[in-house]
Each structure stands twice: as C-alpha cells, then as structure tokens.
Amino acid sequence: MKSQYRVVVIGGGVVGASVLYHLAKFGWTDVCLLERSVLTAGSSWHAAGGIHALNADPNMAALQAYTIDLLSEVEAESGQNIGLHMTGGLTMAGTPERWEWLQSAYRVFQSIGIEDCELVTPEEAQKRCPIMSTDGLLGGMWADREGYIDTTGTVHAYAVAAKRRGAEYFEHTKVEALEQVHDGWIVRTDKGDIRAEHVVNAGGLWAKQLGRMAGIELPVSPLKHHYLISDTIPQLEELDFEVPMTVDLEGFTYLRQDQKGVLLGIYEVDHEHWAMDGAPWDYGMELFQEQTDRIEHELTCGFERYPALQDVGVKTWVNGAFTFSPDGNPLVGPVPGKPGYWCACAVMAGFLQGGGVGKSLAEWMIHGHPEADVFCMDVARYGKFAENRQYIKETTGQFYSRRFVMTYPNEQLPAGRPLKMAPAHSEMSAAGCRWGQSWDLEVPLYFAPEGYEEEGTLKRSSAFDIVAAECKNARENVGMVDITGFSRFEVTGPKAREWLDGLMASKIPEAGRAGLAPMLADDGRLKGDLTVMNWGDGSFWIMGSYYLRAWHMRWFDDHMMDGVQVRDLGEEMAGFALTGPNSRKVLQELVAHDLAPMPFMGCASFDVGMIWGRVARMSVAGELGYEINCRMGDHITLRRTLLEAGAKFGLQEYGFNAMLSLRLEKSFGIWSAEFTQLYTAAQTGMDRWIDWDKDFVGKAAAMAEREGNGPAQVVVTLEVEARDADASGYEPIWAGDKRVGFVTSGGFGHTIGKSLAMAMVDREHAAEGSELSVHVVGVERPARVIAPSPYDPSGRAMRG
C-alpha cells in the first residue's frame, strides 16, 4: 500500500468495487480501495442478487440496463465466475388499478428503449412459473433481462478486473479518520496514513460514520430485510428450466429459484430500522434472528401465491441489513462544500445499480460530469433538512414499507411532513388549500371545499373541476399563488455582473430588468432554466426551481470567483404572484406610483401596502402578472393585503396544479420535464435566449451543435385526443409503428379545453401538423403536433 493515491475508495462491497473498476477502466489507475474486513462484508454477501432492468424512474432504469450489460463483460475480463442466471422475470398485478398501472409502465419502458418486455395473461405467466398460483391475478409483465447472480463472485469480479487494469485493493485495512487538507484528504487507517486528492464513501452500512469523519450528516439508515431459502421442491426437479424472477406486487414478495428450491424475499410493511448511526465496526458477516411474527402477513401471501412452499421446509433464513435513503435511490456525487469528497452509498439494490453508479461517479470525477442524467441519485438533491434523525427515520421507513405499494401520481405521502411551511400556511389551509411538497417545503396544489378528499388515480383527478375553476379565474379575472416555492439566490460584489455573464448563456439584463437565462455545462447540456433579475442597486437575483437549491449552489460554488458573493435566500424570502387581466388593478391599489410604465420583464423594489417588496412583472401562466417577493415575516400580511385589495376585482387563490395547466397552454417548459441536464439548449428551444457574441460556460459545445446538423430531437407541443386521462411524462410517441419520441410533461388545458402534452420527438416528425399517437395510461390515442403556445400565441395578454 502506497502513502499517496489519486483516489481512495472506502468500502469493499459491490458499489465500492464497481467504482474502483470504472476509475481504472476510464484511465485513472492510481487508485485504491480499502476494506476494513474482507470484500463483501456488510450487505453484499447476503444480498439476494436479483437483477432486472425495470424501474419506475427511467433514468435509473437506464443505469440498471447498463449494469446488466456490464456483468458478462466483467466476468470475462476478470475470469471470475459470477453465477449469472438470466431467467427472465414476471411482475404480477392483482388489482384493476395495478394492472392498469402495469400496462402504462410497459409503455414507459418502451420510451426508454427497453424492448424486451411484453404483457402476459395469468395463464401465460403460470406456464413460465408453474409453481405460482394465479388466484386473484389479472395480468403481468414479462421481461427477458431479469435473473440473479452470485453476489460474492460478482464483487470479486469487479475487484479482480480493476486490479488487472492497474488499481489496487486492500482488505483488513480500517479507515479510522479523515482529515481535509488544502489539496485533498488524509485518510488515516490502522495501517498508516494515505494522502488522496479524492475520497469516495462507498461505506454501505458504515456510510454514516464515514460521512461524520468529514463533518457530513448523510440522510441514510439501515433497515432489516428478510428472505428465506426453501428445501428442494419436487415440482422444480421435474422442470427442464429455471422459474423466472417473479414479483407479486400485492403480496409484497419476490421469488427466484435457488438450486431446486426457491428464494422468497419480503418487503415487510412493518419495517424495522437498525443502527441508525451506522453499523458497529465489528459487524460484517452476521445476520439477525428471523422475526416471523413481524412478517406473518407477507409470509402468508407468499405461501398462498406459491403453494408448493407449504409442503417443504425452510432451509435458510436471512434477516440482514441494507442502507436506504429517504426516497430509496442512491446518494452519489460530490458533496457540496467538501471538495474531493464523493458519495457512492445508500445503493440498496447494489448488484442491480452498482454498475451504473460506478460508471457515473467515475465519469463525474474524471470528466466533470456523468454521461447520464443522475439527478435522481445526486447527493445534492437533499439539503440540511434531510440530516434530521426523525426525518430520516420516517422517510426511509415509508419507502421500505411502500416498496411494492402502488403510489399514484397525484398521491401525497405523509412521511417527513409537514416540515417547512410558509408563514401564511395556516391561513391558506383554513381557506381550503391542499398541499404538496417540494424539497422541504409545503407548496399549494389547489383550494377545495371543506371535507373534500382527493383519491389516488392514474386518470383525471376528482379535483379536475376545482383546478378548471382556478384556471378560469386566473385567465378572466385575477389569481394569486404562493411563490415561496421558488428558489432565490442573491449575487453581489464588484464582479457580480462579470461572474453572471460568464456563467449564464444569455445577456445579463440591465438595471431594472429581468431576463430568462439558460445555464450550460461544459458539454453544452443544460444546468438550469433560470431567471436573472438586476435590481439596479448592485445586486442581482437568480430565480429557479426550489428543489434544486443545493444542486445549483454546488454549481455556483464550483464556478466561484473573487469579488463575488452568492447567498441562498430560501430561508429569508417568500412571496405571492398575481396572474390575470386584473392583476395590475389589484397591485395599483397598493402602490404609490403608476404601474403602467413598468415594462414586461421589468423589476423594481417598492412598497406594497405596508410591505417592502421586490416586484417583477412576469408570469409563468402567460397572463399579465406580477411576482411580489417579500421577507418571510411579511408573508401573512402580504397575503391579507392582496386579498383585501383584490376582492372587488375577483381575486381568488390558486395552486400549482392550475399553474401546470396554464403553463402547458403557453408551451412553457419546466425543469425535470422539458429541461434536464440530458438536453441541450437547441433541443429545448432555450437557444433563443443565448447571446452568441460573448463567452460563457458551454459555448464551444453549443456552437458546435449550432454549426453542425443540429439536434436529432426537439421539444414540441402536442394536442392529444384523450378521454378520461392525460399524458404525464415518458409515454411513448409513435409515427405508425415507429417510436419517434416521448412525452416530457402533459395535462389538460382548461382554457382551450384540450388535452396537451409537451414532448421530445425526432426532428423529422416535429413539424406542425405531424400526425402521431401517444399511449396514455396504456391506451394509444391520436396526437398532432401543434404550434407552440396554443393559448394567446402572440403573447398579447402577457405583454399587455
């Protein structure tokens, strides 16, 4: 072991071994892995080892597909047998709602290029899994690329392949402390100190302690997980094939063959946390006593679904711990504020996702960005709020217990809520507000009468008419929406404008003006769809998506320069926006000067009633509108003031669900849908805001795209002949039987009375009038490309 490496990976499970392998594969060979015990000690050795390419998150599904493709390659490269059994897999539905969801999910998988799936009847499924009872089943989905591997063999294959490429790994080497220094980190071990430019926390069950060594509180916790291995099942001895990986969603169980018996795994509704501060250092190859009383219901379901289990014994019980994050996805990437410290932990499905995690982190470290859009597992998707022990306990427990529970797109889950509330939250609740969540904040969805309860659905919600009324009032009179859930960053200092000019691809607005500002990465892909405001007093604001606060601040810090200060105002500022033809009349009642000269995209600071506000004339709804930003403590008074002044002009509050409908009618894209770090400005239409005469981050790549053939796909607006459901995202789009794109977001345009979708489609099918089709909740519906902004295409309402 040397005293200095470029990268030290801590943790010898499947994720750490994959990171080591990919670093070496991509050319960084001065790297080593440290394991306090032996490779696989922790969760890896007792994992069930199931693999499948399907995931509700398309970006995660793509990384899982990569992992599956990689396994055979690593086996061949290392010469280490990984025990790969590609049996295929079944996912079964036992309720009408679940069967509907499965049919919809099948189409989403087509959108992301997973072509080896098919829907099957219960009878067809039973032929592939003869030991399964079909009682109560309505249908299922078959996937070719599912199966299982030998977990120990796979970890050693990654490690051996990495070593053959020049990397090193050391067992029985315990990391005892980490010290940050000016050029990286000192890793203190029981075998001596190591200096490293980069440190990777792949600690698994010990990730919490490794984070605390660096002064970081990671939102992770281990939970216990059961599976059993049965004795030999005579029926399996008679088969000339292995039964497939089979998931019974209503029974909370998964099954695969194990020799001539089966492994039956359970996601217990009655979950149990363990060692929330991290596993004991001397833990590693141990298991817990099975808790059959805690899993009685799920066991019963499993034995009823697979009756053959009732006639044989249990050979082995496994009750071991895995580490989870609040949403169940990994924590990967550079930790904000800790240069050179990287996370690769909370990968609860390590053998399924470990390859993709290792690839993405290695690309990120070496090239500055991963190839894939990995926000779904970016450590910066959480903020300080997620360090709270109770928050971690509630959210990780909720994820675990709901692992196989169907969650509807309009369903609001309770764990970790309410956490942060805007000051006017109580008064808005009294007025009927129903709430959603963005990051740590409660955000308004719509306002409903007392006693109304929305039921989960894949189709149009029972709140459809409520949202329609909110849209109508915002278009015809004036609506008011709480905008505390927008991010706000203050930029000051003598070089503030210079810094913004180099970071944003757009022109920086002059004093008293605001402007849309695409922000690009070096490779030309988007890093933000932002708004920059020049208040004229030497200060600027950057406004964007609230849930990207930590993510964007990391990007700002990575590109910081002397003479600039950037401050996150998310805990200081709140506000309301007025939308509609009467919005100026309402605001004029409360200000001392004439508002008429204030131009569209103008901004200024002035008193609104008794409140000092930062006011911008803009609207995400495409109407005459004003965003009024106030201090957090003034939020209640501002709301009361606006409601009183607006009473005679028809002012009513509305929520984000109406905002979705209103912005779709204007073809206004949003982050995580039309705009992501996978897409370029040209693909999304954001290139219209680029100032090509200046230098900015990502210009060379953006110019190359502009001067080349342009993007292969672009964002368009679709009118969909929908009935009782609307597209929402990732549904496939077809030209005949050829898949030519997918929906980025969708909903109903209440003003124009049409179902709308925005979509990324092949450029040859992007022309206005192109006749296409789209699957909506599994049913193919006709669709047509229409001109952008089906409501008020000239923008007269917004600029009037």
Which sign, positive or negative, has the C-alpha torsion 481, 483, 484, 486? positive
Fold of 4-367: FAD/NAD(P)-binding domain (3.50.50)
pLDDT tens-digit map of 198-253:
999 999 999 999 999 999 999 999 999 999 999 999 999 999 999 999 999 999 99
| pTM given for the model | 0.96
Residue 54 has pLDDT above 80, yes or no: no
The residue-averaged pLDDT of 733-747 equals: 97
Residue 484 has pLDDT above 80, yes or no: yes
Q: What is the pLDDT of residue 57?
A: 79
Dihedral of the alpha carbons of 467, 471, 476, 479, in degrees to the nearest 10: 90
DSSP output for 468-526: HHHHHHHHHSEEEEE-TTEEEEEEESTTHHHHHHHHBSBPPPPTTEEEEEEEE-TTSBE
Q: What is the pLDDT of residue 61?
A: 85
Q: Which residues contact 725 (CB under 8 A, 6 or more apart)?
A: 458, 459, 460, 776, 777, 779
Q: What is the pLDDT of residue 114?
A: 84
pLDDT tens-digit map of 418-444:
999 999 999 999 999 999 999 999 999
Evaluate whether 518 touches 661 at the Cβ level (below 8 Å). no
pLDDT tens-digit map of 289-325:
999 999 999 999 999 999 999 999 999 999 999 999 9
pLDDT category at 60 given cuts 50, 70, 90 is: confident
Closest CA to 616 of 546, 498, 516: 516
Peptide bond into 597 cis (omega under 30): no
To the nearest 10 degrees (0 to 180), the angle between helices 58-78 and 96-111 is 60
Q: Where are the alpha helices (DSSP H) in 26-172?
A: 58-78, 96-111, 122-128, 151-164
Strand 184-189 relative to strand 192-201, pairing: antiparallel
Residue 62 has pLDDT above 90, yes or no: no
- Which strands, in side-by-side order, build the sheet including 625-631? 603-608, 611-616, 625-631, 573-579, 478-482, 651-653
Each residue of 451-481: b (16+ CB within 10 Å) or e?
Answer: eeebeebbbbbebeebbbbbbbbbbebbbbb
Domain boundaries, the chain: 4-367, 436-451+461-701
Tokens in use for 66? 């990569």
The residue-averaged pLDDT of 500-510 equals: 98
pLDDT tens-digit map of 321-371:
999 999 999 999 999 999 999 999 999 999 999 999 999 999 999 999 999
Q: What is the 3-state secondary structure (H, E, C) of 625-684?
A: EEEEEEEHHHHHHHHHHHHHHHHHHCEEECCHHHHHHHHHCCCCCCECCCECCCCEHHHH
Q: Residue type for 600, please? A: F
Tokens in use for 763? 């450029």
Measured distance CA(622)–CA(475) in Å, rounded: 9
Q: What is the pLDDT of residue 53?
A: 76
Measured distance CA(576)–CA(367) in Å, rounded: 41
Measured distance CA(684)–CA(136) in Å, rounded: 45
Instruction: State phi, psi for 663 to the nearest 5 degrees.
Output: -75, -30
Measured distance CA(36)–CA(282) in Å, rounded: 9
Each residue of 767-783: b (16+ CB within 10 Å) or e?
Answer: eeebebbbbbbbeebeb
Evaluate whether 726 touches 758 at the Cβ level (below 8 Å). no
Residue 56 has pLDDT above 80, yes or no: no
Q: What is the pLDDT of residue 52?
A: 86
Measured distance CA(70)–CA(355) in Å, rounded: 7
DSSP output for 219-254: --EEEEEEEEEE---HHHHT-SSPPPEEEEGGGTEE
Measured distance CA(227)–CA(266) in Å, rounded: 6
Closest CA to 301 of 262, 260, 255, 256: 255
Measured distance CA(497)–CA(503) in Å, rounded: 10
Tokens in use for 16? 């750490």
Dihedral of the alpha carbons of 156, 160, 163, 165, in degrees to the nearest 10: -130
How many residues appear in the chain?
800
CATH superfamily membership of 436-451+461-701: Probable tRNA modification gtpase trme; domain 1 (3.30.1360.120)
Each residue of 245-256: b (16+ CB within 10 Å) or e?
Answer: bbbbbbbbbbbb
Measured distance CA(602)–CA(647) in Å, rounded: 26
Q: What is the pLDDT of residue 416?
A: 97
Instruction: State phi, psi for 171 to the nearest 5 degrees.
Output: -90, 170
Measured distance CA(616)–CA(629) in Å, rounded: 8
Q: What is the pLDDT of residue 510?
A: 98
The residue-averaged pLDDT of 526-531 equals: 98
For residue 432, give Cα distances in angstroms to 112, 383, 448. Answer: 39, 29, 5
Evaluate whether 74 touches 82 at the Cβ level (below 8 Å). yes
Q: What is the pLDDT of residue 58?
A: 78
Evaluate whether 568 touches 489 at the Cβ level (below 8 Å). yes
Q: What is the pLDDT of residue 738?
A: 96
The HSE-up count of residue 786 (CA atoms within 13 Å, CB side) is: 22
Calculate the average pLDDT of the chain. 97
Measured distance CA(158)–CA(344) in Å, rounded: 15
The backbone region for 513, taken as left when phi is positive above 0, alpha when psi lies in -120 to 50, beta otherwise, is beta
Q: What is the pLDDT of residue 800?
A: 79
Q: What is the pLDDT of residue 274?
A: 98
The backbone region for 672, taken as left when phi is positive above 0, alpha when psi lies in -120 to 50, beta otherwise, is left
Tokens in use for 402? 């709901």
Measured distance CA(520)–CA(705) in Å, rounded: 13
Q: Which residues contact 586 (CB under 8 A, 6 or more apart)?
A: 478, 578, 642, 645, 646, 649, 651
Residue 263 has pLDDT above 90, yes or no: yes
pLDDT tens-digit map of 102-132:
999 999 888 888 888 999 999 999 999 999 9
Would the CATH topology of 4-367 be identical to that of 436-451+461-701? no
Q: Which residues contact 158 (CB under 8 A, 6 or more apart)?
A: 14, 17, 18, 20, 21, 74, 78, 354, 358
Strand 314-324 relative to strand 221-230, pairing: antiparallel
3-state secondary structure (DSSP) of residue 423: coil
Which sign, positive or negative, has the C-alpha torsion 119, 124, 130, 135? positive
